[in-house]
Structure 1
Amino acid sequence: MKLSFIAHSETGPVRKNNQDSGYASPRLLVVADGMGGAAAGDLASAVAIDQFRRVDERAAADRDHTLRGEDMLALLAGAITRANDKIADLVADDPELEGMGTTVSAYLFDGDRLALAHIGDSRAYLMRDGELRRTTHDHSWVQSLIDEGKITEEEAATHPHRNLLLKVLNGQAATEPDLELVDIEPGDRLLICSDGLSGLTDDESITRAMRRPELTDALDELIDLAHAGGGIDNITIVLADVQGDDERPAATGTGEAAVAPLGEPVTNDDGTEDTLVRTPPAAGAGSDAPAEALEPIVLGAATERAIPAVRHRTAAERAAAESDEQLLVESERDDEHERYAPTSPPRRRWLRIALGVLAAVVLLGIGALAGNAWIGTQYYVGVAGENVAIYRGLPDDVAGVPLSQVSEVTETRVSDLPRYFRDRVAENIRASDLPGARNTVAELRAAAELCIAQRNTEPPLDPQPTPTAPPGPTPGTGESVAPGASPSAGTTPAPRDTGSANPSPTTTSPTPGVTQECG
């Protein structure tokens, strides 16, 4: 089998720069959605694509076809690890880059099946016989709510916390991707996209577009769907058809939206550029050329964002970055050397023992510094008194000594939050970094404000009639209420609709899954 592929990346009608990156070749399809705004999300996605481009070079050199199955998964996992390490090094060199990150979704093809690697909320799909299914699972808060049965897919599309990611490639330690082998067959169609498409349209509409016979037609319709959904994010799409060995591969490139000459960007009316790339088959190759002769496509930020070199690390920095396992290995090597070293005279033996103790103390000190340095990069959102607060460190203690301290106390009161969020804050919400914690706090504040607004619009619980008012019929009942008497249960005025837990069928809560939990 072989892949016929096409790809597209654009800034979109709202954003000012493209932080998405993409890559497509006969062996590898990747989309990386950068995040961080001014904190260089475009750099993060370009770093990821650079590492995956090297994976493709390794796969292209595998002439003996030994790179299969678990080996492909290991290769993808290694690319993600190296990209994450590079992002960490860049942030260490330039603190202004703190907060940048990227999602990654990738298919690696060995001629028989796919290896999938995924982290974040970009999506990969597979269509077979006209039926579309996702092969990735979003690493987002709203997806966790869907998994727990607390909200529906429809509510997730408009949820105020839909952009909160639980896992992303940002230089932090928790970057374990989802890895899976996917069986394919001729006639299958593959899609990888950023949430500039999947976050603005539903799977049913994507399915209809994917059923178009020609890849270019399918791509153009997917782009139209993203624009119709508001076009509020960068849009990156990689499409591929799985073909039998006897089929002719189609030329690679972009859809009709790419009207620029080969290899040149499209300039928008506002002066911004969409990094659209048309890549024809290799020189001298026609439409009958083998798939291996088709040139790879690089898309988006990866075509124009330079990746800075990382400066040389000092010994102290390298020691702080070492893991406990590495320290243990070094210690075991020292013990092994001492075990088989020649016996020294008594005086020199005492000196050796003293030096050994000193070395052990130094190693422990380095380990403590490394652990403390790592703890200092961790953040979570919890409770401080009656308010929501951001903590630096871990929500644990060692021998009664807390491993965290309050970094920021917000004005948001825990009692103003919806019940579900109160419980989550009480259990502590982990964040990948300080900007991530602040984003969580901002979303919690928005949820609290909705609850406060709901509470302020509720009518008084026990309205009192005017004492001098004469008895009269209660509207809609034909009965009278004596002066000064409280209305009976059957005559209590109906409260106004305030978005409570049981709205009428014609009322839609502005924040599905949030205002219903206020109280």
Structure 2
Amino acid sequence: MATLIDSAAVSNVGRVRANNQDSGFAGHGLFLVADGMGGHAGGDVASAIATKRIAEADQPYITPEDAEFAMQSALIAANQQLAETVFEHAELTGMGTTVSALYVLGDKVAIAHIGDSRIYLLRGGTLTQITTDHTFVQRLVDSGRITEEEAAVHPRRSVLMRVLGDVESSPEIDTSIVRTIAGDRWLICSDGLSGVVSFDDIRDALEQSASASEAAERLVKESLDGGAPDNVTVVVVDIGADDVAASAKPVVIVGSAAEPLAFDIEEPPRRALRMPPFRLHSVPEAHFEPDSEEYLDELIEEDKRRVRRRRITWITVIVLLVAAAAVLVGVTYQWTQSRYFVGSDGDSVAIFRGIQQDIGPISLHSVYRDTDIPIDSLTFYDRQAVEATISATDLDDAIAIAKRLEVTGAD
């Protein structure tokens, strides 16, 4: 029989962001990470509201199914509370949050998930991603349109298809129940970790750390060492045998949920809300688009158009470069053919057109006129000069050099 023995939660604003829009919660049985979105429109408010509402589900349950249902209900309730908050505070329009949560009950773990925060399981040295990202690129991977490697660098890798917020009244929540055994180490993290630290480095940090807190601190540090362009939040949960004494851990809240809220949400207004099926306005830094097949097809087609435009641009650039190179080669060759020099052509002196150099197998000169002056008739000095070639300023100068050699050789 397995049981919860240790946990830790750590959050950091990162090296670029001005505020922390992540929230983390480590309770008695419930653990979660929420990654707010909406930029200055209230990403920190969204993750804090959702975390505090879902944290109310940290109660004793008889079965894992009860815990699973309670978490799903809590996420839906948090979504409603976010919508009601936006109704009261229009300046927060567009805010939303991802949520990845798990509840440990004996040897079972109930999971609830929406967005692109992730849940991992380390078991026996093998790390497995338990949740699936609700992102545009993940849909492309699942449909076989792109590979995992291409998804990691795709320009739309931050576009979310499902979140909690003022978008849908009943968002689709992924839930499941997974068996856990003694020695398992669970990780919940925002994309501030998974988007910076590699899969292998995450596994090594979890495997090599003695305690949950040490693992959490190390993972956050590795994200910071990697530049941490986003907030990073990590919750680590350790599972042991039921005969191992669990350490008495107080409830830990980190990130924006640990700070006082700027808005009163204790008693949200109870009124009918008129919510569109998807957002009709744009929100800077939100990185959210509705999870509809029509919109997904539109994004895919736009992505294809972007690829075609990029391909056409590269082909045009290559063609222009080749054309420019051809013009340059042509001009250079024409210039070489305006030059002359005197040299040896077998046993006689000849006037050559071009320059003395060759480019690989390509000769840049040819015999213009054979003077019929025998090489042997030249003085020792002139013979050496002819064999080394004598440069001329033009054709008349080359003819004059040949006549001088003829006269000198006759003497």
1:211 alignment partner, one of 195, 204, 207? 207
Counterpart-to-counterpart distance in 1, 2:14 and 2:281: 33
Map Cα deviations across residues 306-348 of structure 1 (whole Å, 9 max, x no partner): 252366456xxx2x64xxxxxxxxxxxxxxxxxxxxxxxxxxx
Q: Does 1:85 align with 2:80?
A: yes
Shift of 1:429: 4.0
Shift of 1:479: 9.4
Map Cα deviations across residues 212-234 of structure 1 (whole Å, 9 max, x no partner): 24123322321222112211111
1:75 alignment partner, one of 70, 78, 90? 70
Counterpart-to-counterpart distance in 2, 1:180 and 1:474: 73
After superposition, residues 462-473 of structure 1 pair within 5 angstroms as 463=323, 469=334
Counterpart-to-counterpart distance in 2, 1:303 and 1:131: 33
Q: How many residue pairs end up in the alignment?
A: 327
Counterpart-to-counterpart distance in 2, 1:6 and 1:395: 39
Q: 1:71 to 1:11 in 2, by over 3 A?
A: same
Shift of 1:477: 6.4
2:256 maps to what in 1?
Answer: 301
2:276 maps to what in 1?
Answer: 374
Among all aligned residue pairs of Structure 1 and Structure 2, give the percentage whose two residues are the same amino acid. 36
Task: Decide which structure has greater strand share.
Answer: 2
After superposition, residues 148-227 of structure 1 pair within 5 angstroms as 148-173=143-168, 175-215=171-211, 216-227=213-224
1:249 alignment partner, one of 232, 246, 249? 246
1:459 alignment partner, one of 319, 325, 329? 319
After superposition, residues 340-351 of structure 1 pair within 5 angstroms as none
1:229 maps to what in 2?
Answer: 226
Shift of 1:458: 2.3
After superposition, residues 135-150 of structure 1 pair within 5 angstroms as 135-150=130-145
Counterpart-to-counterpart distance in 2, 1:249 and 1:211: 20
Shift of 1:102: 0.5
Map Cα deviations across residues 394-450 of structure 1 (whole Å, 9 max, x no partner): 999xxxxxxxxxxxxxxxxxxxxxxxxxxx88x4349xxxxxxxxx99x99987885
Shift of 1:69: 3.0
Counterpart-to-counterpart distance in 2, 1:110 and 1:166: 30
Shift of 1:73: 1.7
Report if the CA contact (8 A) 1:3-1:26 is conserved: no
Counterpart-to-counterpart distance in 2, 1:212 and 1:451: 45
Structure showing greater radius of gyration is: 2
Q: 1:311 to 1:303 in 2, by over 3 A?
A: closer
Map Cα deviations across residues 93-134 of structure 1 (whole Å, 9 max, x no partner): 222111111110001112220001111111101111111101
Stretches of structure 1 lacking an aligned partner (at least 5 in a row): 251-280, 282-293, 322-372, 381-390, 397-423, 431-439, 481-519
Secondary structure of residue in 2 paired with 1:458: helix
Counterpart-to-counterpart distance in 1, 2:240 and 2:268: 45
TM-score where L is the length of structure 1: 0.56
Counterpart-to-counterpart distance in 2, 1:475 and 1:183: 71
TM-score where L is the length of structure 2: 0.70
1:260 maps to what in 2?
Answer: none
Counterpart-to-counterpart distance in 2, 1:445 and 1:42: 35
2:111 alignment partner, one of 92, 101, 116? 116
Report if the CA contact (8 A) 1:4-1:26 is conserved: no
Q: What is the RMSD computed on CA atoms of the aligned residues?
A: 3.6
Shift of 1:43: 0.7
Q: 1:377 to 1:131 in 2, by over 3 A?
A: closer
1:6 maps to what in 2?
Answer: 8
Secondary structure of residue in 2 paired with 1:23: strand
Report if the CA contact (8 A) 2:10-2:217 is conserved: no
Amino acid at match of 1:241: D
1:50 maps to what in 2?
Answer: 52
2:101 alignment partner, one of 80, 102, 106? 106
Q: 1:452 to 1:44 in 2, by over 3 A?
A: farther
Q: 1:445 to 1:147 in 2, by over 3 A?
A: closer
Q: 1:377 to 1:187 in 2, by over 3 A?
A: closer
After superposition, residues 260-275 of structure 1 pair within 5 angstroms as none
Shift of 1:149: 3.3
1:428 maps to what in 2?
Answer: 298
Report if the CA contact (8 A) 2:151-2:157 is conserved: yes
Q: 1:112 to 1:150 in 2, by over 3 A?
A: same
Map Cα deviations across residues 377-401 of structure 1 (whole Å, 9 max, x no partner): 4579xxxxxxxxxx99x999xxxxx
Counterpart-to-counterpart distance in 1, 2:52 and 2:225: 32
1:504 maps to what in 2?
Answer: none
Counterpart-to-counterpart distance in 1, 2:64 and 2:246: 24
Counterpart-to-counterpart distance in 2, 1:208 and 1:167: 30
Stretches of structure 2 lacking an aligned partner (at least 5 in a row): 283-288, 338-352, 365-411
Report if the CA contact (8 A) 1:105-1:124 is conserved: yes
Counterpart-to-counterpart distance in 2, 1:301 and 1:144: 30
Which has the larger displacement, 459-468 or 295-304? 459-468
Counterpart-to-counterpart distance in 2, 1:47 and 1:452: 47
Shift of 1:142: 1.9
